[in-house]
Amino acid sequence: MSVLVFVEGLNGEIKKSSLEAATYGSQVAQAMGTSATAVAIGDVNEDALSRLGEQGISKVLYDADDRLKQFVADAYVKVIAKAAQQENAKVLVFSNSNIGAAVGSKLAVRLNGSLATNVTELPKIDGGNFTVTRGVFSGKAFADVNLTSDVKIIAVKKNSTDIISNAGSTATVEKLSADLADADFASAPKETVMQDTSGGVLLQEAEIVVSGGRGMKGPENWHLIEELAKELGAATACSKPVSDIGWRPHHEHVGQTGITVSPNLYIAAGISGAIQHLAGVNSSKVIVVINKDPEAPFFKAADYGIVGDALEVLPKLIEAAKALDK
């Protein structure tokens, strides 16, 4: 019996959130006295897969079917289920991403398993009890959940696990084939549009995010957000009101009804900090708020705050960021 970790790729490399999941999975395996195996799908570099050994993964099962380069939930579920059956895996670990959530719920039905999402801590294993802690109510509270099914499926919250790196350790990479038929791709979208930010960094995977709100006073000032993002190697984002009034495209909207992000650094310029916005960014490791209103709610959630007009503060930050590169 092993622990199976599903890892996601981006441009041939393993996503940071999946490295966190791999670390989590290997630590669960260690606590259970077993090994951790990863399953990878689609366009992922095999060298990157072998480096998963640094996170404690002993073996990687890789299905390189060209049709899997595009995410199709039913096909992904079939591949992961095949890997779980082959490895007799009773614990499956994913990142709590859009893909992880879609695949995890379908697998829970297919494997008759217990599913816990947004998990923040390693499980407490005591006799027949397998208890995990998960964030609820947009991260405002935590719940302990006992997973009672034979198969346990865990979606790990981003930035909740420190990535371990045992330099030099490698995992063996083995081919996996789930004998996929055309019917497994019936739900595939006819056209895929990859939403990329102006800085070339995908918002969901960005380590740094620079976000703007109505305090930017108009789309003509957005070049300040984009310039700071470029200097920091960051993605750009915005609040819901900004996308609603057409200043920025909807795919940059961060919040409860938009994209949820978990960067190491989130810079919010001219955003008041409504509860719906906070729900989408409260997993960020460090939050910096720039707002001319000292009573803005966002300051209560901030690690660092600057009271000032964003249009005056941002040029100074850009200048400082440029100085760091010299």
CATH number of the domain bearing residue 145? 3.40.50.620
- For residues 60 and 164, membership in a common domain is answered with yes
| Run of H or E including 206 | none
The structure tokens 């992880």 sit at: 100
Q: How much is the average pLDDT of 76-83?
A: 96
- For residues 209 and 96, membership in a common domain is answered with no
Tell me if 197 is assigned to some domain: no
- For residues 207 and 181, membership in a common domain is answered with no
Q: What is the pLDDT of residue 81?
A: 96
pLDDT of 192 over the 60 cut: no
pLDDT of 45 over the 60 cut: yes
* % of the chain with per-residue pLDDT over 90: 73
Task: Pull the structure tokens for residue 285.
Answer: 């490791």
Tell me if 191 is assigned to some domain: no
pLDDT band at 187 (very low <50, low <70, confident <90, very high): confident
Q: How much is the average pLDDT of 217-241?
A: 95
Tell me if 215 is assigned to some domain: yes
Task: Pull the structure tokens for residue 275.
Answer: 């509860």
Q: What is the pLDDT of residue 194?
A: 45
- For residues 136 and 266, membership in a common domain is answered with no
**Is 276 annotated in some ligand binding site?**
yes
CATH code assigned at 290: 3.40.50.1220
- For residues 221 and 170, membership in a common domain is answered with no
Q: What is the pLDDT of residue 312?
A: 96
Tell me if 77 is assigned to some domain: yes
Task: Pull the structure tokens for residue 27.
Answer: 């630590």
**Is 277 annotated in some ligand binding site?**
yes
Determine how many CB atoms are found less than 10 A away from the CB of residue 247. 21
pLDDT of 24 over the 90 cut: yes
Residue finishing a domain among 118, 151, 185 = 185
Q: How much is the average pLDDT of 180-201?
A: 63
* % of the chain with per-residue pLDDT over 70: 95
**Cβ atoms of residues 269 and 211 within 8 Å:** yes
Tell me if 264 is assigned to some domain: yes
Residue finishing a domain among 123, 157, 185 = 185
Q: Average per-residue pLDDT in the chain?
A: 91
**Is 214 annotated in some ligand binding site?**
yes
Q: What is the pLDDT of residue 200?
A: 60
- For residues 133 and 269, membership in a common domain is answered with no
Q: pLDDT tens, 47-59?
A: 999 999 999 999 9
At 167 the three-state DSSP class reads coil
What whole-number distance in Å separates Cα of residue 238 and Cα of residue 235?
10
- For residues 232 and 83, membership in a common domain is answered with no
Tell me if 190 is assigned to some domain: no
- For residues 167 and 219, membership in a common domain is answered with no
Q: Which residues, other chains included, contact 174 with Cβ-Cβ below 8 Å and sequence gap of 6+?
A: 59, 60, 61, 62
Q: How much is the average pLDDT of 169-198?
A: 75
Q: What is the pLDDT of residue 300?
A: 94
Show the domain range for 296: 203-323
Q: Which residues, other chains included, contact 223 with Cβ-Cβ below 8 Å and sequence gap of 6+?
A: none
The structure tokens 């803005």 sit at: 296
pLDDT band at 211 (very low <50, low <70, confident <90, very high): very high
Beta bridge partners of 10: 13
Task: Pull the structure tokens for residue 241.
Answer: 């009101």
Q: What is the pLDDT of residue 227?
A: 96
The structure tokens 């007009």 sit at: 309
**Cβ atoms of residues 284 and 266 within 8 Å:** yes
Tell me if 196 is assigned to some domain: no
- For residues 161 and 253, membership in a common domain is answered with no
Q: How much is the average pLDDT of 194-207?
A: 65
**Is 271 annotated in some ligand binding site?**
yes
Q: What is the pLDDT of residue 199?
A: 45
Task: Please state the pTM of the whole predicted model.
Answer: 0.83
pLDDT of 102 over the 60 cut: yes
**Is 108 annotated in some ligand binding site?**
no
- For residues 180 and 207, membership in a common domain is answered with no
The domain tally of the chain equals: 2
Q: What is the pLDDT of residue 43?
A: 84
Tell me if 62 is assigned to some domain: yes
Q: Which residues, other chains included, contact 205 with Cβ-Cβ below 8 Å and sequence gap of 6+?
A: 10, 15, 16, 17
Q: What is the pLDDT of residue 164?
A: 92
- For residues 285 and 209, membership in a common domain is answered with yes
**Is 273 annotated in some ligand binding site?**
yes
DSSP symbols for 136-154: ETTTTEEEEEE--SSSEEE
**Is 291 annotated in some ligand binding site?**
yes
Q: pLDDT tens, 265-323?
A: 999 999 999 989 998 998 899 999 999 999 999 999 999 999 999 999 999 999 999 99
Residue finishing a domain among 156, 185, 214 = 185
- Chain centroid to Cα 259, Å, comes to 11
What whole-number distance in Å separates Cα of residue 37 and Cα of residue 45?
17
- For residues 62 and 94, membership in a common domain is answered with yes
